[in-house]
Structure 1
């Protein structure tokens, strides 16, 4: 008969998710030998090796992968139960795990500050990351809510658009294309184009909608760095207009008039369809939707999902 404890399952889930005993021990706030002991006991109880170790990287075996999926379900159920009990005892408190992209960070921070005034006893952890890690968190149920631009179509998610997100082209204030009232996509292709890394929502939208392939090796993993690169005169960048309001206002950069731009996407509040939101998470989701800008028909190409 196979036996295992909750401590063993929590330790195993953390090691597999983080691919490291050291990182797992820090996440669980216990010593590395304690984590290693839990995994050893779990392997002995099951009767087979659960992990492969190559250098400092840890990956699950075939049986380990199956057990990891069980861990995710068990831990999700336990955490949900804990949240439900906490919310029943303290309906105006609770903890939120929120993940967002760099594009939406400014808005989410402002809306969290407003929400915290209404629910001062609630706590939250806000993580700002790239699209790849954000999708991992959605898949592994490691976030209550995710705020993002383009939800994936191949995951079981509940999504709600709440604000328009116009993508624009930006340049240095002295760029020669600013003299033109309109610029074609063909003219833009001749420029050095700066964009986010492979896999980012902004890059995928630009390539798909404008039929463009980026012609330089300049890939940058943050909007702030793209703005700085454009300011330095390295080329033309593509960003959400919401992220450059201040720079546009002070003429630090300029918005280029380009055919088919702006592309109107939407920001979405997203969570895994298999997870039932806690009362405080549901309140925050409603708060975001109510306080987002009304969706309307805007000039430019509208990306619907």
Structure 2
């Protein structure tokens, strides 16, 4: 047999996602490239590893056993690499972070310098909805999570990272001339919501309930990007985090509609399970965030202050 570590990695991701398309996305490869790697790997075994039924990919029992072995081999290879770097005096290991979808606009800036200095650190970053982020934290699958709404059922510790401002926004087709509108304006605008469980939706609904506002709910979408595109297309209005609409505001494609009581304020938090036993990598990252967050906010997010 002449399978490669790359083939083992590709096959393992395929078994985890049960999809060539999803595996390609996670590996940042094209679908044909993933299919070729799977075929080349399969050719080295007389027993099928996968099968396709009704256009769905399934992993055979034999394939599942090979996936377990592949994961064990890859973990050993990572351990060898980490031990080599540690022996040379470099920080090495995995840093695992789960991030709510809107957090993708900020977390890279808090990782960039840390990863540049510590090139032996391997990052696993999962960007998903709030419910899955909290679930990954609860199951201790990650070192840290980035959220704007704290989970109330978990014992956690946290660092308040930076403020999160949410504004009522629309596209540039309609003109709003008043310097500030009453909150009753929301009753006349068709609003686009995030899906249930989203942190943005939680903050939005809390504001609506606190102010006893009648709301005309237009539609519900499953990502901030989908909401933004719907607003750009003129399908409605929404309450969105400022952090995710910088380019659209700069180019005049979106506008902030001035309403009394806005922006709605929340806070981005880095959280972890109380009493968690940190790895050297996780401990180093926490120290880095504590020491450098003010500088990063000033350098990368100073533009927020003009709104």
Q: Same fold (TM over 0.5)?
A: yes
Other structure's SS at 1:143 match? coil
Counterpart in 1 of 2:197? 199
Q: Is the 8 A contact 1:185 1:210 kept in 2?
A: no
Provide the aligned C-alpha RMSD in A. 3.3
Q: Does 1:259 align with 2:260?
A: yes
Q: Is the 8 A contact 1:183 1:258 kept in 2?
A: yes
Which of residues 288, 291, 297 in structure 2 aligns to 1:293? 297
Q: Is the 8 A contact 1:99 1:145 kept in 2?
A: yes
Other structure's SS at 1:293 match? helix
Q: After superposition, where does 1:1-305 map in structure 2 within 5 Å?
A: 23=16, 32-33=60-61, 92-176=91-175, 178-211=176-209, 212=213, 214-289=215-290, 290-291=292-293, 292-293=296-297
Shift of 1:243: 0.7
Q: Figure out how many residues of one structure are paired with residues of the other and give that number.
A: 232
Shift of 1:148: 1.3
Distance 1:235 1:24, change over 3 A: closer
Q: Is the 8 A contact 1:148 1:270 kept in 2?
A: yes
Distance 1:36 1:171, change over 3 A: closer
Distance 1:106 1:182, change over 3 A: same
Shift of 1:150: 1.1
Cα distance in 2 between the residues matched to 1:213 and 1:288: 41
Cα distance in 1 between the residues matched to 2:252 and 2:64: 56
Shift of 1:92: 1.0
Cα distance in 1 between the residues matched to 2:218 and 2:224: 16
Q: Is the 8 A contact 2:102 2:224 kept in 1?
A: yes
> Which 4+ residue blocks in structure 1 deviate beyond 6 angstroms?
24-27
**Gapped regions of structure 1 (runs ≥ 5):** 1-21, 38-81, 300-305
Q: What are the superposed Cα offsets for residues 180-199 of structure 1, whole Å, 9 maximum, x if unpaired?
A: 21112111122100121112
Other structure's SS at 2:297 match? coil
